[in-house]
Amino acid sequence: MFNSNRSAQKSITDKVFNRDASKDGPRPTAKGEERIQKGDKFMPDHTIEEMEERMANLKECKEKTVLLACIKRKESKTLHTIAKEMCRRPDTVRGWLARGRRRSLNDLDDHKPPGRARLLTDTMTKTVQEWLSKSPEELGYERRRWQSKMIKGMISERLGVECSIDTVRRMMHNVGYSFRKSRPSPHKSASEEEQMQFKKTTAERLRAMAILGYVIMALDEASCMVGGWNDYGWLPVGGHETIPMSWSKKSVRLMGVLGDGWFHIAIVDSTNSETLESFIDKIRAVVGDVVVVLDNVSSHKSQKMDEYERDSNGGMVRIFLPKYAPQLNPIEVLWRDLKRALAGNYFDSIDDLKATITGIVNNSELTPPKLMDYMLPEGVQQPIKTSCRIWDMTSETPCLAVAA
């Protein structure tokens, strides 16, 4: 019963699609297309060896993919087998085989299709670049920074081309622009001319001082707040890691100097002139005569510090940075690295924070940043044998920690 029904169904199918099993040659498919043969009947004018040699000389990936499908069909593989091996849909493979049979082996080349014409020509792109060389305010816009919608509107209004926001973004990347925030700058900052002049004159002075045996170093103060220090870090996807926070305004005040390959830090109660004088005394006891590069804080330029410099008989010389130029003080990098080392921790008290800072220095977790070029006299070496140290000057008996 089953066989008779199947035979009757096959007869009906052959009649619908005009199939004649007695005739050789390709049979029409359900879509009326010519059936794709396999084995030696597929592309009979070419052998597998010729097709493989041709594929080795091709560079265009699309043409190589089409020819690979043709080789598999030449090996008598079924359509579904080829689709499974090439991880494509059977309809896609059928199109490749039809393309290879239609174009033949000699017509498969590396010529890329022209594709859709660009909306913006090279001349239009250069015109847009000329607009971008000016600020939006100069071209009648209220904003100070260029936005994608503004550029799209200008292209539509002035060039008569309607393009999408994605087209504008691709064009901006192609002409060397990126979408990012502007860096904040201090309200007041020393000009480039002032900084260059300071570097030039100071470098000559420091070279002369180094020849006389002075040790060159940079000095500055910093503070670290008690509480939770947060920072960026790698965390698993999903959920949020939390750390405890304390909004206490208590802080640990630090005073430090940075030399060529070493630094000394002191934990202090206050950053006044008296503390600074005591700290420099400790430094001079270790390294000898010093030249200190420091900023224009009132405690650095006080009358007490003027008297201390005179009484030192040349043992301590101050060189002041230009006003509003903290970027010329390399010890700022040391403070930044210290605060990054504190990130991700929680401190219950001042003593806990002090112990952590002391441990960071003692375990050599801080690397002394390099002095700036204007502070390193060329050809003059300073044979200083000292290591990175930290003092706790807040107690009656100051303790000393030396990095391992």
Q: For 110-119, 174-183, 257-266, which range has the lowest pLDDT when averaged over its residues?
A: 110-119
Nearest to 365, CA basis, from 384, 340, 386: 340
Tokens of 138: 């100069």
Residues 252, 250: Cα–Cα separation, whole Å: 7
Cα atoms in the 13 Å half-sphere on the side-chain side of 214: 24
Instruction: Identify the pLDDT of residue 230.
Output: 67
Amino acid (one-letter) located at 133: S
Instruction: Identify the pLDDT of residue 258.
Output: 95
Q: Do 307 and 332 touch, CB atoms closer than 8 A?
A: no
Q: Do 374 and 262 touch, CB atoms closer than 8 A?
A: no
Q: For 21-30, 241-250, 311-320, which range has the lowest pLDDT when averaged over its residues?
A: 21-30
7: left (phi over 0), alpha (psi -120 to 50) or beta: alpha
Whole-structure pTM value: 0.57
268-277: average pLDDT: 94
115-119: average pLDDT: 76
Terminal-residue alpha carbon distance, the chain = 94
Highest mean pLDDT among 101-110, 146-155, 219-228: 146-155
Statement: residue 49 has pLDDT above 90:
no
Instruction: Identify the pLDDT of residue 316.
Output: 96
Statement: residue 18 has pLDDT above 60:
no
Statement: residue 234 has pLDDT above 90:
no
Where is pLDDT greater, at 40 or 244? 40
Instruction: Identify the pLDDT of residue 137.
Output: 86
Statement: residue 398 has pLDDT above 60:
no
Tokens of 43: 């592309």
Residue 194 CB burial class (10 angstroms; 0-12, 13-18, ≥19): middle
Statement: residue 15 has pLDDT above 90:
no
**Rounded (to 5) percent helix, strand, coil in the chain:** 45, 10, 45
Count CB-CB contacts under 10 A for residue 233: 8
Residues 93, 161: Cα–Cα separation, whole Å: 39
Q: Is 225 helix (H, G, I), strand (E, B) or coil?
A: strand
- Residue 383 binned pLDDT confidence (cut-offs 50, 70, 90): low
Statement: residue 387 has pLDDT above 90:
no
Instruction: Identify the pLDDT of residue 21.
Output: 43
Torsion of CA 17, 20, 26, 29, to 10 degrees: 10
Average per-residue pLDDT for the chain: 83
Tokens of 287: 């390294």
Statement: residue 253 has pLDDT above 80:
yes
Whole-number Cα distances in Å, 2 to 5, 7, 10 = 5, 9, 12
Nearest to 132, CA basis, from 174, 163, 172, 164: 172
State the DSSP string of 77-104.
Answer: --HHHHHHHHT--HHHHHHHHHHHHHHT
